[in-house]
Amino acid sequence: MNFSDELIQWYFKNKRDLPWRNTTNAYTIWLSEIILQQTRVEQGMPYFHRFLEKYPNVRAFAAADEDDILNLWQGLGYYSRGRNMLKTARQVVKEFNGEFPAVYDQLIHLKGIGEYTASAISSFSTNQAKAVVDGNVFRVLARYFGISEPINITKGKKLFQDIANDILNKDNPGLHNQAMMEFGAMLCKPKNPDCEICPVRSGCYAFNNDAIADLPKKLKKTKIRERFLNYIVVTDGDTILMNKRDDKDIWANMYDFPLFESTHRLTTEQVLSLPEFKSYFGENSRVINTYPIKKHVLTHQHLHAQFIHISNKPIKLEQKWFYNYVNNLEKIAMPKIIFIFINNLFNL
């Protein structure tokens, strides 16, 4: 039995019963693939069900407002995925008359869909012979074939894709791809893989050469950017002052508080002494409360957020500042760190 057949046999015995595996609908598969990018199945599953219930087809998705999509996406992270999904849905309605394409050559031209996602949708929906290479597949291939080329450089990605294409089961490409991905997710895990029950360990380079912990290889990550976010919290009865972010930075078009960012950590007194703070809130601000700095980790950024609750109202409003009723906050999309703070502040 060859490598692919072994994994498919393992898959039949051990696969999880996931809802997107019970359909060939390209739209449903697209939803699952985008939601599960850089997201664990356990975390992504509720989002998949919520999106599918609210937007059962691509036309319904395309008709949504961006705020509605981001609100539903809240807590999932990497919000550009949600924004790109809306662009994709609208592109499908415009260019494909609302029929979600299932062919690789059409999928690859849609917004937010790269080689991996196009291969996955076409393979799972129409059994097109396209090898899918995600993080799980990278790991399986690197360990089994002993590939030391880094997976996060162009040369390495091409090498892995070529090998994946070579071993693809052309008779059952969709099944083969599902088996490869599931095998990496459940058995050939990043840490503590279950090598003792692995059906292909006899031919595995990493197992036979004590290299499991060394593969796959990755080049050192880019330097992490440290950012210090000094948020000003202003309440007025049952309203709170909010800020709509622009589309040029993290959390694009989402909502947070008036913000004064600094290059290093500032005390409360230092924030209140900033010229830009004084220009909006005046010279004599009274602090109601301060809160411990919260660290929020993004892929290439570490955010250090502090919240300063003051009693005085701004003497002028920035263009994107506005008061919002607390009981209406659930209707707007906020970064997780803001959402958690507001819930704690108002005991929601």
125 phi and psi angles, rounded to 5 deg: -95, -35
Rounded CA-CA distance 71/77 in Å is 11
- Of 33, 95, 115, 283, which is the active-site residue? 33
Rounded CA-CA distance 336/346 in Å is 16
Residue 33 a catalytic site member: yes
Pull the structure tokens for residue 59.
Answer: 């036309």
Q: What is the dihedral of CA 250, 255, 259, 261, to 10 degrees?
A: -10
HEC string of 238-281 equals CEEEEEECCCCCCCCCCEECCEEEECCCCCHHHHHCCHHHHHHH
Query: Do 207 and 140 meet the contact criterion of CB atoms below 8 Å apart?
Result: no
Contact residues for 174 (Cβ-Cβ < 8 A; gap 6+): 123, 124, 127
* Amino acid occupying residue 195: C
Catalytic residue list: 33
